[in-house]
Amino acid sequence: MPIKVGDKLPNTTFRVMTADGPKPKTADEVFKGKKVALFGMPGAFTGACHGKHMPTVLQNLDALKTKGVDAVAVTTVNDPFVLGIWQREIGTDQIQLLGDGNAEFASAIGLTFDGSHIGFGTRSQRYSMLVEDGVVTKLNVEQPGKFEVAGGDTLLKQI
């Protein structure tokens, strides 16, 4: 069953790239005691993720923080090496890129899709959510193949 507003996020483990290489980071470390704008994307460097979704996050980064968001994070079903390169490509370290390489987080929140028909395997659905102290307070999940409600601009208007 997909996560919904009012639900607590599961404490799964992401992988993040650091100066010392890949390191684990639990959901509690990311969300506990913080207000976090979280964006779920199927994969780094893919057309819609890199060309449409990420730009809306970047364009609204400062405005989200002005509205009281402590951190902005993006999770994809990629390994931390890919996300480390993507971090350099997007040109800011103000967005936490959370690797969910095995889709454990996406599966635990019930927001996956089967992309096997295009060689992607299990991927995260596209979404945005506001998480306050680990609890979902806003949630926008895209219909497959669409990009209408999961952008940074939509989440900003809801805060």
Catalytic residue IDs = 49
Dist. CA 13–CA 98, nearest whole Å: 9
- Other Cβ atoms less than 10 A from the Cβ of 101: the count is 16
Radius of gyration of the chain (CA): 14
Q: Please tell me the number of Cα atoms within 13 Å of 81 on its side-chain side.
A: 0
Integer Cα distance of 95 and 16 in angstroms: 12
Taking the C-alpha atoms of residue 81 and residue 29, their distance in angstroms, rounded to an integer, is 20
- Side chain identity, residue 33: G
* 3 state SS of 71: strand
